[in-house]
Amino acid sequence: MSTAPDPTPYPLDHLALRGDDDDAALVLRGETLSWKDLRTRVGQLAGWLAEQVPEKGARVATWAAKGELTCLMPLAAARAGLVHVPVNPLLKRAQVKHILEDCSASLLLANSARLASLEDGDVECPQVEERAAMEALDSAWPLSGPSAHDPQDLVAILYTSGSTGRPKGVMLSHANLWLGAVSVAHYLGMERDDVTLAVLPLSFDYGQNQLLSTWYAGGSVAPLDYLTPRDVIKACGRHGITTLAAVPPLWVQLVDQEWPAEAVAPMRRMTNSGGALTEDLVRDLRTIFPDARLFPMYGLTEAFRSTFLDPALVDEHPTSMGKAIPFAEILVVDEAGEVATQGELVHCGPLVAQGYWQDPERTAERFKPAPAASQYGGMAVWSGDSVRRADNGLLYFLGRGDAMIKSAGNRISPQEIEEAVIATGLADEAVAFGVPDEKLGHAIYLVVRGTGDEDALRDALRRELPNFMQPAVIRWVETMPLNPNGKIDRALLARKAA
């Protein structure tokens, strides 16, 4: 990459222009798309989408495993002037129903099994089965590119859980995603011969950036929905993977495995986000991959990525968040809004999202005017996370300012779990929170006042919630403790659980 990243944003579909015609761009299970193929397929999919949904700015959702459709959609929807809403394939009908209703989706593309799981009335928009959509592309009139959309136009909504309420949609522009791709490709030093194994869900900003940053560099992506850590290791060896991104719970599983030489030798870099690496994990990864560079990172969907730690500093400062990534201005401010050495992390600059979809109240809570000290000004993301800036400029995470549960790399809303528990009819009150867990980061601990029928409750929750939202522990109580305000004393319950 160049010595300084280009700060000029472009429409997102311009990423299809980045690679050489005959080089690999997308390594699928049954075929490999060259960059020439990628350009053709993006144009065809964009043309088909424009026929199905002619209204510019309409929302189009995908709910499917990683494959050609889900990988091409970010660029194809962008070219067609639509807004892509990637839905986590692990979610079940209740969460999907909420997302589709909330964004007023005009079209849902999903595989047959997921469509079959929906009930009458769940989805009002047209539904097209994934395979049928892809088969229709050959007869579609392609939209040639590149497009001339305004880079500030909305291009994607990524749904992320908050500490209260149902998932909220983070609104991202072409510029947000384009500059995020430029930034990451730059500081990772990615090149045209890089091969990225995309193991993270494409519904996450970190997962989607696996595609976009690699394609900005002109490299290729091998998407993988893995079942076991061995699947990841085999894919690394089979495809000559140079770049692997993961979250701490997956790293914990991977370092416990035997890594053959063919999976280790090509690896150039590993990136981590979604939770901090422990010193033991850093040591284990450095032992297995002595020649690869390790990039610890910190980010939040509302501003994509905020910081990364230079690999040269990992051994000496293994617990640091590092410093700001390109295009991000990171300030530490105290309660008075003044710059301090310890306080709230505030992210300013062009990576800041456009707010939450149709939710001005929650937008106003998180998106506020930048502190006076900001060079960018405008709106900033006030993270709620407490950090410390050391004398050498490195940042250190101190604590999360909300009640979010972070388990296996997923941000989970306690209220969403609690609502699902009450909806079963087996409980009158429920409180969910996270407790430390070596493999997951946090496990879900559920306190319930109700019938005491744990088997029935677990069966009901398995039907309504994805696996990563299932409680590890259910504790039944006759009464909930109350605080002086008459509310359930969540802090007391958490202390007892610990």
- To the nearest 10°, report the CA torsion of 437, 442, 443, 447: 120
pLDDT digits (tens, 9 = 90+) for 465-498: 999 999 999 999 999 998 765 678 888 998 998 8
Q: Are residues 437 and 381 in the same domain?
A: no
What percent of the chain has pLDDT above 70? 98
Q: Which of 317, 268, 267 is nearest to 296 (CA)?
A: 317
Tally of structural domains, the chain: 2
Q: Which of 334, 338, 437 is nearest to 387 (CA)?
A: 334
Does 66 fall in a domain?
yes
Domain boundary (364, 395, 426) is at 395
Q: Are residues 180 and 43 in the same domain?
A: yes
Instruction: Please compute the mean of the pLDDT values over residues 185-198 and round it to a whole number.
Output: 98
Split at pLDDT 50, 70, 90, the class of 104 is: very high
Q: Which CATH number goes with the domain that contains 456? A: 3.30.300.30
Q: Are residues 384 and 418 in the same domain?
A: no
Does 185 fall in a domain?
yes
In angstroms, the CA 25 to CA 10 distance is: 20
Does 4 fall in a domain?
no
Parent domain of 161: 12-395
pLDDT at 484: 61
pLDDT at 165: 63
Domain boundary (348, 367, 395) is at 395
pLDDT digits (tens, 9 = 90+) for 383-436: 999 899 999 999 998 877 667 788 988 888 888 899 899 899 999 889 999 999
Is pLDDT above 80 for 1? no
Q: Are residues 435 and 336 in the same domain?
A: no
Q: What's the Cα-to-Cα distance from 130 to each of 13, 210, 224, 395, 397, rounded to whole Å?
A: 21, 22, 17, 44, 41
Whole-structure pTM value: 0.89
Mean pLDDT of the chain: 94
Does 173 fall in a domain?
yes
Q: Are residues 423 and 468 in the same domain?
A: yes
Split at pLDDT 50, 70, 90, the class of 2 is: low
Q: Are residues 32 and 147 in the same domain?
A: yes
In angstroms, the CA 459 to CA 479 distance is: 24
Q: Are residues 238 and 358 in the same domain?
A: yes
Helix ranges (H only) for 53-188 are 68-79, 93-103, 112-117, 130-135, 174-188
DSSP assignment of 264-322: HTT--EEEE-SSPPPHHHHHHHHHH-TTSEEEEEEEEGGGEEEEE--GGGTTT-TT--B
Does 6 fall in a domain?
no
Stretch among 34-48, 141-155, 315-329, 473-487 having the lowest mean pLDDT: 473-487
Q: Which of 274, 273, 401 is nearest to 345 (CA)?
A: 401
Q: Are residues 303 and 439 in the same domain?
A: no
Stretch among 122-126, 317-321, 382-386, 483-487 having the lowest mean pLDDT: 483-487
Instruction: Please compute the mean of the pLDDT values over residues 190-199 and round it to a whole number.
Output: 98
Domain boundary (340, 363, 395) is at 395
Q: Which CATH number goes with the domain that contains 80? A: 3.40.50.12780
Rounded to the nearest 5°, which phi and psi values hold at 260? -70, 160
Instruction: Please compute the mean of the pLDDT values over residues 251-262 and round it to a whole number.
Output: 95
Q: Are residues 197 and 302 in the same domain?
A: yes
Split at pLDDT 50, 70, 90, the class of 3 is: confident
Q: Are residues 198 and 269 in the same domain?
A: yes
